[in-house]
Amino acid sequence: MFATGWIERVSRIHPATPFVFWLPVLAALSVRAVRSGVGAPLFAALALGGVLLWTLTEYTLHRFVFHYVGPRPWQRRLHFILHGVHHDFPDDADRLVMPLGISIPLGAAFYVLLRAALGPVLVDPAFVGLTLGYLAYDGTHYAVHHLPMRSRWARRIKRHHMLHHHAEAGARWGVSSPLWDWVFGTLGARSRDRRA
């Protein structure tokens, strides 16, 4: 797909790879948080806050970064590499989850920011929640494109994302949740048509 061999290699990733890398990291951070005295209710609240922060991050990245197509040729090329390739080839199973070359630096940056905001003890549960949210996003995105979606909620998530791909590329930015599309009014024309 890419003429440059190294871009072709790093743009492909097995869908299990983020889970294999991040779950042991999250387990270690969870253990460290508990050993530092973070109780279960506080851990759960911070982790839930982290998940919520991820859903907003997912929405923001998808809307303002992944879909930004600048006027310069290098900006259009960067858009294609980051996300345009996914819209051109939405069923390519090796390009449905974020490569570790992107998720590890992003994860490190979020950890540093959360640590600055929450301190050295409370950062771990919040980062665990944020990263579980990210893994839910990657898993949901893969499932929407490649797995049967049997439950009512799963079918709604699939429909939401497929409308983004095939009918409303300028709307429906949430992948794992339509929450922020609802909050910011970006559910698209089909949603408005159903209410009328």
Looking at the chain, the whole-number percentage of residues with pLDDT higher than 90 is: 51
Side chain identity at residue 137, one-letter code: Y
- What are the tens digits of pLDDT across the range 112-133? 999 999 999 999 999 999 999 9
CA–CA gap between residue 129 and residue 137 (Å, rounded): 12
CA–CA gap between residue 169 and residue 67 (Å, rounded): 9
CA–CA gap between residue 139 and residue 186 (Å, rounded): 23
Higher-pLDDT residue of 114 and 160 is: 114
**pLDDT-based confidence at 102, cuts 50/70/90?**
confident
Contact predicate 59/180, CB 8 Å: yes
> What is the pLDDT, as a whole number, of residue 193?
44
> What is the pLDDT, as a whole number, of residue 58?
93
For the ranges 6-20, 37-51, 104-118, 167-181, the lowest mean pLDDT is seen at 6-20
- What are the tens digits of pLDDT across the range 3-27? 566 666 666 788 899 999 999 999 9
Contact predicate 127/111, CB 8 Å: yes
CA–CA gap between residue 110 and residue 130 (Å, rounded): 9
What 3-state class would DSSP assign to 115? helix
Contact predicate 156/140, CB 8 Å: no
Higher-pLDDT residue of 83 and 115 is: 115
Nearest by Cα to 26 from 55, 49, 47, 56: 47
Lookup: tokens for 27: 């387990």
